[in-house]
Structure 1
Amino acid sequence: MNEITYRKIVVERFGGAEAMKTVEATLGEPPPGHARIRVLAAGVGFTDLMARSGDYLLQRKVPFTPGYELVGEIVDFNTDDSPPAWLAPGARVAVALTKMGAYSEYVSLPLWQLVPLPEGLDPRLAATVPLDHLTALSVLETHGRVEAGDAVLIQGASGGVGQALSRLGGLRGLRMYGTASAPGGEELLARHGVTFIDYRRQDFETVLRKLEPAGVDAVFDHIGGPGLRKAYRVLAPGGVLVSYAFAGRPGHMVADTVRGAMRVKLMNLRPGRRTALSMVPSEIKGDRKGYRERLGRLLDMAARGEITPRIGSVYPLMRAAEVHTALERREITGKAVLVTDR
């Protein structure tokens, strides 16, 4: 059998960055409908840190390999169907995974998950696109259904998804407000036409009551908690509150996430406004064709320079624990990317 020996990062137990270990494994020939991929770059998100610590609802078992997004080269594939012209050994692809596993030198993936990389697009830049920007598209198009001229509030606008929402929202002609507190946040958001609200010094409800007395058309939230009620109150009649994540207490993140999701669903029973939950891994599995179209569209936009994700740092894959530590200490501004070194 043509096996490949490779290394990957494994979380052996829930805990701190020290729980991540490098292990050696073998990868057999791809089963029908799959391809073996040599990973070139993997994006790192705060979801990975939550999963490692045991605070992520969709990753409740150890051991596991973190990471939801990667760019790689096709080694070989197995299909009885006529493959598309781009599907060939050596072709570069981007992938948003439906379950974690990107911190690895090689992976075996279903063919339907592979999206060809546009010519000339840097794999490191491409690795910053899938999860944050697919989430942003889900929030804007699938659930928010916003149109040019609509007023929106982006909670945590300086984060990964917040910046993706700002980029894509600016291209759509939205009137945007964003809460943030990170140093340089105001300048960062201004590049995309977002009016900055410093949530540590300003009450966003008070600010929006003055600037948008009729209310905003949508609020995009990843925080949850008491702020959900305030976010709902600033909505215009017919407006929508879209939640795509929930912050919580350390050690209670899973319970707080479930509680937050239930609160959003109950709020949707009230007349006059609506609420929605964006869950991208489930949406990818439920609409494979739509996933490929959306990710392909985003990669084309990145190749043309229409969206410009900011790479905060690039580390070798085997130093993933250092990246997690740096992210927890807020030492990295922008997206962190892991690259393979062989």
Structure 2
Amino acid sequence: MLAVHADRPGGPEVLTATETERPTPGSGEVLIRVLAAGLNRADTLQREGHYRVPAGATDILGLEVSGSVAALGAGVADDERAPSVGEPVMALLASGGYAEFVSVPVGQVLPIPERIDPVHAAGIPEVAATVVSNLNLVGRFQPGETVLIHGATGGIGVFAIQLVHALGGKVAVTASSTAKLEQARLLGAQILINYREQDFAEVMAEHGGADIILDTVGGSYLERNVQALRRGGRIVTIAVQGGARGELDFGVLMTKKASVSATTLRDRSVAEKTEIIDAVRRIVLPLLESGQVRPVTDSIYPLAEVAAAHAHFDTGTHLGKVLLDCRVGD
């Protein structure tokens, strides 16, 4: 099968699709014939040599796919969540998605709702798992709360806006342009902040503060994130695009009875990921089936053009997900 590796750390040009041995599903695993794969920030960090592949995982890039079930490993048929051979599915991976086939634990596999295009479904698993694990499980979101989302128009942002809106929350977002903020508004955002022109902490204070901040920036935003919280607020940091270090005033944090958490998804155990995917199954699938939440795709590239896909992703101009079409010779 064809699969994508980075032959050395570097830019998009280091990515090549080469012939690789097709995986065999182990006990408790599902073999998926990949239709499409989603690009994520962790993929670019891995390409650059800044993200260690989890122990036991392949160095083939890709954290999420859609496709159809090609085979079932031992014991899978006895699992109540087990899909049937030939069934359309989407899955969260530790790695291996930029390929024609991938094996994945059955607990990380989800059915594709009928109203969702199977290619576009490739952009759902990683963002859904990230948002649900942080917003709902760590952040303890409740209907009526205000959620500030940094990075409104990336894959995480466009999904989180829709989910918070569908679950009855009020959405505040930051973005770098009026055009991006308008796209966020169309998805359900109500408080629109251009971070190049406005201080988001001041704007949030005018609106009573945020109950939850879904933070992709990290250190450089830490102080203002705390300022932007209301009493009992929660910051959940999922990326550190603005640096891994920041200054925290514990006095302000204590006065607000607030908290700061930080998580990663890729290096979690299969049991932890299964628990998260079960929450996605419970919370997100009904919203996808009803149309209240939908995948937002910016662009789709053939697998052979993976370098061009990464180059586009690196510009940061995409709205929603960048995908790879992994069908080869079909």
Q: Indicate which of 280, 285, 307 corresponds to 1:295.
A: 280
Note the residue ranges of structure 2 that are not aligned, 5 or more in a row: none
C-alpha distance in 2, partners of 1:132/1:268? 34
The sequence identity of aligned pairs, in percent, is 29
Q: Indicate which of 36, 40, 43 corresponds to 2:38.
A: 43
C-alpha distance in 2, partners of 1:268/1:92? 52
String of CA shifts for 1:24-57, please: whole Å, max 9, x gaps.
Answer: 0222643333232210111112221122112335
Amino acid at match of 1:279: T
Amino acid at match of 2:200: F
Match in the other structure for 1:253: none
User: Against the structure 1 CA distance between its residues 267 and 18, is the aligned structure 2 distance closer, same or farther, given a 3 Å change threshold?
Assistant: farther
Amino acid at match of 2:130: T
Shift of 1:114: 2.2
1:280 is paired with a residue whose SS is: coil
- 1:11–1:62 CA contact under 8 A, matched in 2: no
Amino acid at match of 2:224: K
Match in the other structure for 2:163: 168
Match in the other structure for 2:232: 238
User: Against the structure 1 CA distance between its residues 150 and 87, is the aligned structure 2 distance closer, same or farther, given a 3 Å change threshold?
Assistant: closer
Q: Indicate which of 115, 121, 126 corresponds to 2:110.
A: 115
1:281 is paired with a residue whose SS is: coil
- 1:10 is the counterpart of 2:2: no
Query: TM-score normalized by structure 2?
Result: 0.88
User: Against the structure 1 CA distance between its residues 118 and 41, is the aligned structure 2 distance closer, same or farther, given a 3 Å change threshold?
Assistant: same
Tell me which moved more, 29-38 or 267-276: 267-276
2:21 is paired with a residue whose SS is: strand
User: Against the structure 1 CA distance between its residues 302 and 7, is the aligned structure 2 distance closer, same or farther, given a 3 Å change threshold?
Assistant: same
Shift of 1:275: 1.1
C-alpha distance in 1, partners of 2:63/2:128? 13
C-alpha distance in 1, partners of 2:262/2:251? 10
Match in the other structure for 2:19: 24
Tell me which moved more, 119-128 or 163-172: 119-128
- Which ranges of 4 or more aligned residues in structure 1 deviate by more than 6 Å? 59-63
Match in the other structure for 1:219: 213
RMSD across aligned positions (CA)? 2.8
Q: Indicate which of 196, 202, 214 corresponds to 2:198.
A: 202
String of CA shifts for 1:224-263, please: whole Å, max 9, x gaps.
Answer: 1231111112212221111111114xxxxxxx44x46xx7
Shift of 1:63: 8.4
Q: Indicate which of 272, 295, 307 corresponds to 1:321.
A: 307
- 1:179–1:198 CA contact under 8 A, matched in 2: yes
Tell me which moved more, 328-337 or 121-130: 328-337
Query: TM-score normalized by structure 1?
Result: 0.85
Note the residue ranges of structure 1 that are not aligned, 5 or more in a row: 1-5, 249-255
- 1:314–1:336 CA contact under 8 A, matched in 2: yes
C-alpha distance in 2, partners of 1:180/1:76? 43
- 2:3–2:20 CA contact under 8 A, matched in 1: yes
2:299 is paired with a residue whose SS is: strand
User: Against the structure 1 CA distance between its residues 269 and 77, is the aligned structure 2 distance closer, same or farther, given a 3 Å change threshold?
Assistant: farther
C-alpha distance in 2, partners of 1:41/1:242? 30
User: Against the structure 1 CA distance between its residues 223 and 303, is the aligned structure 2 distance closer, same or farther, given a 3 Å change threshold?
Assistant: same
String of CA shifts for 1:94-144, please: whole Å, max 9, x gaps.
Answer: 1111x2210001112233322222335321221111111221112221121
Shift of 1:93: 1.6
- 1:36–1:109 CA contact under 8 A, matched in 2: yes
Amino acid at match of 1:195: I
